Amino acid sequence: MAYENALAELSQVIASRKAHPEEGSYTCYLFEKGLDKILKKCGEENAEMIIAAKNHDPEELANEICDLFYHVLVLMEQEGLPLERVLEILDQRSKKIGNLKQFHQVDRNT
């Protein structure tokens, strides 16, 4: 599939923009504004994704998920969290699929 490395490629572009800022780059703008702006955008995109899902609009939902992925990748770069680490954790979790987790039971009477 031509798109199987899309997240890794996008992550590399984001890292490059941070290391070598370019005039007029939205990614550079986010890094310049800092963590608060990046977090605000992550929150906004998450809310827009939820609304698209509630509206049962698959195309809009796909676009909002892409926007959220992008902003999360910017956040990861800002915080020095490599994509590879997140993918390692996803890989570990995928091996646990089918295992019933024990959930903490809350006693609502206390």
User: What is the count of structural domains for the chain?
Assistant: 1
CATH number for the domain spanning 39: value is 1.10.287.1080
Structural domain boundaries enclosing 44:
6-81
Classify residue 95: in a domain, yes or no: no
DSSP 106: P
Report if residue 38 sits inside a domain: yes
97 occurs within a structural domain: no
Tokens of 78: 């800002």
Mean pLDDT computed over 4-28: 96
Nearest to 60 by CA among 68, 49, 46, 73: 49
> For residue 17, is it within any domain?
yes
In one-letter notation, the amino acid at residue 79 is E
Predicted TM-score of the model (pTM)? 0.85
For the segment 47-76, what is each residue's pLDDT rounded down to a tens digit? 999 999 999 999 999 999 999 999 999 999
